């Protein structure tokens, strides 16, 4: 069986009609790949369209302020991707005169670009025979060849990259790379793959040995850290609200949020007054506060779960300069905050 020919043949009959498949413009391909990292196509597509509309060229993206970029990115998570995208756009526009690097070895030097993204851009935009290896590719290769090396181990990363490089159709690398990724996304799915109508079935080792559900193998994730967030939604009678920017490195860097108190455990209403007085000099001007959500909102990130409460604190006058509530939606905020804003009637 010719693996590459079968994959490409399947792709020609089953590929989705997606906008970035109608171009070899490296800017658009780069944009799509950054958006689709850790994001499904159905979720990422509207973001891609919004970015292309707002920033039709790499110069437009480079000349935009970061706040606008983060606002458009809002809801996708992993905000460092957006910051790196903006940083690299400015580098290409200002240092390279808008000329996108055209080889894998140069593309991978861009901030926020790793092996997978560099391989995708180099092959799709410039025809370089560099094999992509993403979650879909790991799954297809692991099952077809019956490989149980953990895909997130150093050995596994090297092994699967070498295998994909050996299999790639050097005459049409863009087609092969897109085909194997699409095959993993739509045919050889993580759960309930379509094995009975799979063109690779007769030679698939996992299918023959009833190991589809066992492959690929992945090393156990790190323990999930629990954190307890208390957001202070501080409002005054003039319809102003406190908002602050997260400037430190870490989750949601440069996004905006309500003042935050992090506690070691979940606090009750009776405990909240003490917590508030210990952390902020706000109590003298408060005339009312209450808990918005009796049940904690649990926001799940890759290595931590945020157990979150929103406290509505009303003032006659805010203790520090706020912003008009009417402008709140113009600020880029984490999805956790945006969900609250959407539910709360200001």
Catalytic residue among 5, 33, 214, 294: 33
Distance spanning both ends of the chain, measured CA to CA: 63
Is residue 33 annotated as part of the catalytic site, yes or no? yes
Q: Provide the annotated active-site residues.
A: 33
């Amino acid at each position: 069986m010719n693996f590459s020919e079968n994959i490409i043949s399947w792709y020609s009959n089953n590929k989705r009609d997606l906008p970035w498949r109608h171009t070899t413009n490296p800017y658009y391909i780069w944009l799509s790949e950054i958006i689709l990292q850790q994001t499904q196509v159905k979720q990422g597509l509207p973001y891609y369209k919004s970015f292309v509309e707002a920033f039709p060229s790499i110069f437009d993206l480079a000349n935009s302020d970061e706040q606008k970029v983060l606002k458009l990115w809002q809801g996708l998570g992993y905000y460092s991707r957006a910051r790196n995208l903006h940083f690299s756009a400015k580098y290409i526009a200002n240092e390279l005169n808008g000329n996108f690097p055209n080889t894998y070895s140069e593309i991978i030097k861009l901030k926020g670009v790793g092996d997978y993204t560099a391989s995708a851009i180099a092959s799709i935009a410039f025809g370089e025979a560099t094999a992509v290896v993403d979650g879909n590719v790991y799954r297809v290769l692991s099952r077809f060849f019956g490989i149980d090396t953990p895909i997130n181990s150093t050995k596994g990363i090297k092994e699967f990259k070498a295998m994909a490089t050996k299999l790639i159709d050097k005459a049409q690398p863009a087609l092969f790379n897109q085909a194997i990724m699409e095959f993993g996304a739509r045919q050889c799915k993580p759960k309930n793959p379509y094995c009975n109508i799979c063109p690779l079935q007769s030679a698939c080792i996992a299918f023959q040995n009833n190991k589809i559900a066992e492959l690929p193998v992945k090393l156990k994730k790190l323990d999930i850290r629990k954190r307890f967030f208390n957001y202070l939604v501080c409002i005054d009678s003039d319809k102003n609200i406190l908002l602050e920017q997260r400037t430190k490195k870490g989750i949601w860097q440069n996004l905006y949020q309500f003042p935050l108190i992090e506690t070691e455990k979940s606090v009750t209403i009776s405990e909240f007054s003490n917590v508030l007085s210990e952390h902020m000099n706000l109590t003298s001007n408060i005339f009312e506060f209450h808990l918005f959500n009796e049940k904690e909102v649990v926001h799940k990130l890759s290595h931590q779960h945020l157990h979150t409460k929103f406290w509505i604190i009303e003032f006659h006058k805010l203790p520090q300069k706020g912003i008009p509530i009417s402008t709140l939606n113009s600020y880029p905020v984490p999805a956790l905050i945006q969900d609250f804003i959407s539910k709360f009637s200001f």
